[in-house]
Structure 1
């Protein structure tokens, strides 16, 4: 049961962070800063109501993904001293075998699980939990950006990329980014009370905590593309939803020819790169219309369409409803009219 008292419990919330090489800075800082702001009155940062420790396997320094170095880390210590062990994952390489995890860190995670300490995988921190054998039969929340990485490397694990975080009792996983603050606030509310969680978020200029089921702010692409070139092309298009990349420019970025790229798209998806990119941008527009208050004009611009009429025409062709009509219906519907997180490759025409 969640506590909602204005004063925290006597026992502080204690969190141990396991920082892996090239750990991602934003998820780490968002989580720990939420703890820091709930730990004390005002913004004095004393570890009164929340306590935290930064650990590496031998207490060595560790470099983050942005190059900032974390010093004065502690060696891995008895996991039972913490209420939670939080694993902050690192930047992934292109191939799984290029991302070996420290065997001592994996052994520590298994020890913590044996001791009954809940484990939290933040961003790619879910990957070492999987490598440690601690996620069998469980769903795993992951960023849309890393969905394909997890699905291809660990086909027996069910990736969840349409929500911010997932609480599975003694295993919690989070997509990363600023959603780490939402997860930290969720735990603070559980242990200290709602007012302390909201205090942290308000100081961080976050209006309201988002629930675990809140959708990630990006349409997720699920497909069974096996061609590595087409997969790289899709990844590039996902990262440029507000920009129209010509086929020539896309081919140049991938060090291939336009003709080869178009042929392989048709072999894999039955459509041209142009149509795939447009459908992808329209799905993004669908998400923005369903879950934000941005105007139709702004959404069309954010999705790379030259004007509102152009956006509306293609949107109606794709979904059978205009953007304005969808906005009206989404205010009363409990679920979207279609699933904005799936790009269905079922129309092979190039309208």
Structure 2
């Protein structure tokens, strides 16, 4: 590929970053460095094919979750000048991660149909502003329950790395920020620009929106992406248990194929794996909370404490109450 010189080229891709208080530095760095390396040849860092700014209502330093501070490089501009606005979130226990001026800016961007992307917990900020409706939000498995509790009416999934459509994007964070950025570079600039960025970053290939988050419930070893996805779906549905047919449909296979897949890869049936995940969650709740047994039973999909107790004893060799009492002494 022949690149134009920095002096003669107009960047094809313009991205504005909004950093939340206690944002995740790694996610921001992976995203912006993918842009930097895609914008010029090798490691020259010229803003030839892409440009980016950190936008803010003030120029005050923004502290990341690891303590490193970043200064905004621009005031808020007309959102129509940008191809994407990327909101990088971080710690969820921060009150008001962005100010009211920032929310107003994001809503102006939405009105102008500028695509908005939530990276890491940036999707929480967009959802809180009412800007994630009609979008299936990808969140980290670590934050899935929190997202469902805060936004029960929104679609969310924690098995995929990112989701990107014409007006919205969401990303689990961490290294998947580079994967999402690479996808945008490929669409907006070229495959050559994407390849340059990935090679310098020592990334063999960019993962796609269909790749599965590197999460292994119960430490079940498996190499099949369909199985990984199903295990994550099981893990997030321990209360409202879903049918094997729904699990099979989620990855486009039949129930018979699902059962064969589990037996071949894990030596367990789907039902046994599902119950093991539910019991694992129950044990954690017993040891980490003082919730009554009936509440824990309901939390893991049982209608009665009696039935829950029998299954728990069969799994762990003692009733739930005895386990909790033994661990308390």
Q: What range is the shorter-chain TM-score in?
A: 0.5 to 0.7
- Asked whether the 8 Å contact 2:27–2:174 carries over to 1, the reply is yes
Deviations 1:29-67, CA, capped at 9 Å, x for gaps = 000000000111120111111100011222221111110
Distance 1:19 1:327 in 2: 42
Distance 1:92 1:326 in 2: 36
- Asked whether the 8 Å contact 1:61–1:73 carries over to 2, the reply is no
- Asked whether the 8 Å contact 2:61–2:69 carries over to 1, the reply is yes
Distance 1:192 1:341 in 2: 44
Which position in structure 1 is the counterpart of 2:173? 176
Which position in structure 2 is the counterpart of 1:326? 265
Distance 1:144 1:103 in 2: 29
Residue 86 and residue 325 in structure 1: after superposition, are their counterparts in 2 closer, same or farther (change >3 A)? same
Residue 175 and residue 72 in structure 1: after superposition, are their counterparts in 2 closer, same or farther (change >3 A)? closer
Q: What RMSD in Å do the two structures reach over aligned CA positions?
A: 3.2
**C-alpha deviation, 1:71, in angstroms:** 2.4
Asked whether 1:203 is paired with 2:200, we answer yes
Distance 2:13 2:273 in 1: 38
Asked whether 1:285 is paired with 2:250, we answer no
**C-alpha deviation, 1:321, in angstroms:** 8.7
- Asked whether the 8 Å contact 2:42–2:200 carries over to 1, the reply is no
Distance 2:113 2:40 in 1: 28
Deviations 1:71-116, CA, capped at 9 Å, x for gaps = 253222211111100001121118xxx4464111111110001111
Which position in structure 2 is the counterpart of 1:350? 315
Distance 1:138 1:113 in 2: 13
SS at match of 1:16: strand
SS at match of 1:26: helix
- Asked whether the 8 Å contact 2:20–2:97 carries over to 1, the reply is no
Asked whether 1:39 is paired with 2:27, we answer no
Q: Mark the runs of 5 or more structure 2 residues left unpaired by the alignment.
A: 226-257, 279-299, 302-310, 317-329
- Asked whether the 8 Å contact 1:86–1:119 carries over to 2, the reply is yes
Distance 2:143 2:133 in 1: 19
Which position in structure 2 is the counterpart of 1:105? 102
How many residues in Structure 1 have an aligned counterpart in Structure 2?
A: 248
- Asked whether the 8 Å contact 1:139–1:158 carries over to 2, the reply is yes
Q: Mark the runs of 5 or more structure 1 residues left unpaired by the alignment.
A: 220-279, 292-318, 329-335
Distance 2:153 2:211 in 1: 25
- Asked whether the 8 Å contact 1:23–1:63 carries over to 2, the reply is yes
Distance 1:135 1:322 in 2: 35
Which position in structure 1 is the counterpart of 2:82? 82
